[in-house]
Structure 1
Amino acid sequence: MRLQVESVRCYSAAQPKEIPAEIQVDGVSYPTDDWYNLNRPIHRLLERKLLADPQNPLSLLKQSIVNHFHTNHRRNNQRTPIFAVCDNENRAVSTFDNFDSLLVPKDHVSRRPADTYYVNKDVCLRAHTSAHQFSLIRKGLDAFLCVGDVYRRDEIDRTHYPCFHQMEGVRLFNQDELFGRHIQPNAQIFEENGEQTPEKQAIHSRDTALALSIHLKQSLEALCRELFGPEAEMRWVDAYFPFTHPSYELEVFFNDKWIEVLGCGVMQQELLRNAGAADKVGWAFGLGLERLAMVLYGIPDIRLFWTTDSGFTHQFAKLKPGDSAKYKPFSSFPQAHRDISFFMAPGVEFHDMRSDAFDLIRDVGGDLVEQVDLIDEFENKKKGKKSQTYRIVYRSNDRIMTREEVNELHKQVEDRLVDNHKAQIR
């Protein structure tokens, strides 16, 4: 990713003061506008591409999952794997692909600039690998694994990071593929004047819903046994996603507790119809690689996936996909806590300030910021003032931070809040 500055525009107190007129993401140039909200750390993260490093635990896990699907899902009596691997899609996508194609409502909170990184009002950084479903199906793919880094304006703690990695799986069937031409010759995948129930979509026959759910669950249970062992205890939980129905989450009992592994479901027929596959039905799943890798490898902090410290990287340097390993801690440096309280600029909403504050703190402190918590907010309606208080935890993974260093970093956060957001430090 290369940042090109053609000119500079200035914005209100609730936005960065200067932004480029144009940026490049994955070799494509995009103009910016008032919606632009990328910061410097996000530009740096776009350049890293962790999945291209075969020794990163995320890359090892990705390849383990790909190997499983290629081994266990093949064309009938052929050596050709069913699932294509799509791991080089452009990370800047249209808002249509990121939201509309997935049937996300127009007023859904995920569309807000407080939650999504926008290049302009029509282009954003993908918030999920599902953003590529529509285009890949439209190209004619009927089985694929889409994997890559995704971006969200999120809270800051040991399990959240503005960039993380997902894998999306999609499998489509025509009528003969789903039922078998000779096994169920009279079965129909669609029905007229049907009713939607918790078990099926209105357009799907009961046989279709049952066959898809069975195939989906068997496929994903096999994946979990591959990752967690043949005796893994699993359970299915009903869920809701706008792009599938019925929808499920798969949980695995691991280290004495139930953990969510993935979300999945029968794809909404409207999505397939819009993508030019109206005569097919299918299922889809999505999983977070960091979530799984932290559990499988015992990694306690999501920031560690980004470190270049040899204390971490050497632990995975000789592993092959599928090898088991447990992370050994290499940092015991102390935390430093600092609180910051301020009055917000007039007209700024609490939820917008939260996202802006998280972004600003990450921009100033980078990976020296371990966690940020909003610990208080109140509104004095008589005086027309809103206030927030954040607790910031600073810690380095490779050295002790001095008190002077922490105080200087914290002062930079205060100064940036004043300069960029017209905050009044309390």
Structure 2
Amino acid sequence: MLKVARARPWRAACTQSLRTHKRHVHTPRTITVLGETYPTDDYTNLPPTIAALLERRLHVTPPHPLNTIRKLIASHFEGFKSYDNLPAVVTPELNFDSLGFPPDHPGRARGQSYYINRGVMLRTHTSAHEVDIYRETPRSGGWLCTADVYRRDEIDRSHYPAFHQTEGARLVNVADMDKLKAENEELRRGLSASRIIMEDCPDFDAITNPLQASHLPETVLPVAQNLRLRITTLFMSIFPPSTTPLHVRWTPDLFPWTSPSYQLEVRYRDGWLELLGCGIVLDDTIARSSHDPASERSWAFGMGLERIAMPLFGVPDIRLFWSRDERFWKQFRDGELRTFQEFSKYPPSERDVAFWLPVGVAKPHAASHAAGGEGVGWEENDLWDIIREVGGDLVEDVKLIDDFWHEAKGRRSLAVRITFRSMERSLERPEVNEVTDAIKAKLTERLAVEIR
């Protein structure tokens, strides 16, 4: 349900010689993930550092904050069946095709997702299991799925290549609309008696947020209203009581898998916090799951758990969720919302790394964004992965600080600023220099760059 990571603006096309070089120095013949051995091919891009995260299972490990958030959500949707242990290794068919992703969708690109090989990958969203779960769901049933998901992404205090989502859905029989309307009235009465300000939005708009072609307003509007009411009461129960009312607002949105679609934001600490996307599930998805779209409607939502847990627990850096430091773990109790107390604020250490891209890489304005290609092009996420692999969680942030084209050389140069900061100790200058040198060596070996 959540939006797929965007394509990056400074990727440029590269020569076949670079692609051959990268495969030659980087990809072994087989790769082992969670005890299973797979053959590799030209799509393989899963680093060992990411594969190791699959074993952590933070969302089902007490007293971790993500486990607490998962349980709070599950307790709100009483009667929904929970799926919390589904395997993260899936096929592109499950991750994309079963949901109707077009062949050229950017999320399919090797630069955006982690592939074990062309036929096997790490899920990028919990929706990879949506159709299979619907098949197990009875008429008028509901379900929740919480899992770790993986996307190649930039490096900063709020982005990590592994994070967690909860997705939920409810099937509604068209013949039961009167019951649903009565439930909605009960939910509205509960909200009217609560300390909450809810800015609602139109149920649908014929141009920007339309009903599906086969849907009638009388069979969709009660379902859409039930969705927004159930989600609003969820966050009313999750966010701690305050001297001021909880302020939420709904806005129309656009997602490939639902129509009409909505987004929820909560006013939190003087700003608007975007929490989730949701909507009425497409008939095609219902049909793929062996339900009858003519007699059943379904709402669904998807949310990132870290996005909720960071403000609720006061966790300032997403890397902390993956920490093994007892000073982090001992602060929490299973099922309780406790404010995180930073155990130390260690100073940052910055290093700049500048390099020439290989001969043949195009000028920045000639960048290619073709999705699902043959591993074509300069991928900025290859750069992030190498920095993560070598620097690990010592790397707090990476920023592009220079990108220029040298006409005389016919080459493109990039420079990044890497911020190192341990969450657990002070870093010594020689250690930072050693890690920086190792990053430069890996960039040279794998991406055929020339350090400046």
Length-normalised TM-score, structure 2: 0.82
| Match of residue 210, structure 1, among 221, 232, 241 | 221
Query: CA contact under 8 A between 1:15 and 1:421: conserved in structure 2?
Result: no
* 1:52 CA displacement: 2.9
Deviations 1:331-372 (A, max 9, x none): 211100011111112345767331111000000000011111
Range moving further from structure 2, 25-34 or 383-392 = 25-34
1:15 CA drift (Å): 4.6
Q: Is contact 1:151–1:163 with CA below 8 Å preserved after alignment?
A: yes
Amino acid corresponding to residue 312 of structure 2 in structure 1? L
Equivalent residue in structure 2 for 1:342, among 350, 355, 360: 355
Which position in structure 2 is the counterpart of 1:75? none
Separation in 1 of the partners of 2:65 and 2:181?
45
Supply the AA of the counterpart residue of 2:317.
D
**1:81-230, aligned counterparts within 5 Å?**
81=79, 83-140=80-137, 142-180=141-179, 198-229=209-240
Partner residue in 2 for 1:309: 325
> 1:116–1:101: structure 2 CA closer, same or farther, 3 Å change rule?
same
Instruction: Tell me the distance in 2 between the aligned counterparts of 1:395 and 1:300.
Output: 13
Distance change in 2, residues 1:181/1:405 (3 Å): closer
C-alpha separation in 1, matches of 2:126 and 2:180? 33
Q: Which moved more, 1:248-257 or 1:374-383?
A: 374-383
Identical counterparts, % of pairs: 41
Match status 1:292 vs 2:279: no
Q: Note the C-alpha offset of 1:278.
A: 2.8
- Determine whether 1:35 maps to 2:81: no
Deviation of residue 22 (structure 1)? 3.5
**Runs of 5+ in structure 1 lacking a partner?**
1-9, 71-80, 184-194
CA–CA distance in structure 2, aligned partners of residues 209 and 270 of structure 1: 16
Is contact 2:145–2:166 with CA below 8 Å preserved after alignment? yes
What 5-or-longer segments of structure 2 have no aligned partner? 1-17, 183-205, 368-376
**Does residue 1:385 correspond to 2:411, yes or no?**
yes
The 3 A distance-change label for structure 1 pair 264 and 117 is same
TM-score, length of structure 1 as denominator length: 0.87
1:63 — aligned with what?
71
User: 5 Å matches for 1:255-334?
Assistant: 255-279=269-293, 280-316=296-332, 319-321=333-335, 323-334=336-347
Report the secondary structure of 2:45's partner residue.
coil
Counterpart-to-counterpart distance in 1, 2:90 and 2:361: 28
Q: Is the 8 A contact 1:149 1:163 kept in 2?
A: yes
Higher-RCO chain (CA-CA 8 Å, sequence separation at least 6): 2
How far the C-alpha of 1:40 sits from its partner, in A, is 1.6
C-alpha distance after superposition, 1:71-129 (max 9, x if no partner): xxxxxxxxxx1x11111111111111111222222111111111100111122100010
Tell me, yes or no, if the aligned pair for 1:251 and 1:262 is still in contact at 8 Å. Answer: yes
Distance 2:354 2:181 in 1: 70
Counterpart AA for 2:280: V
Three-state SS of the structure 2 residue aligned to 1:266 is strand
How far residue 17 of structure 1 moved from its aligned partner, in angstroms, is 1.9
SS in 1 for 2:259: strand
Structure 1 residue ranges, 4+ long, deviating more than 6 angstroms after superposition: none
Is the 2:26–2:446 Cα contact (8 Å) retained in structure 1?
no
Shift in Å, 1:201: 1.0
Tell me which amino acid in the other structure corresponds to 2:247.
Answer: E
Residues 198 and 182 (structure 1), Cα distance of their counterparts in 2 relative to 1, 3 Å cut: closer
Are the structure 2 counterparts of residues 197 and 44 from structure 1 closer, same or farther at C-alpha, using a change threshold of 3 Å?
A: closer
C-alpha separation in 1, matches of 2:169 and 2:163: 20
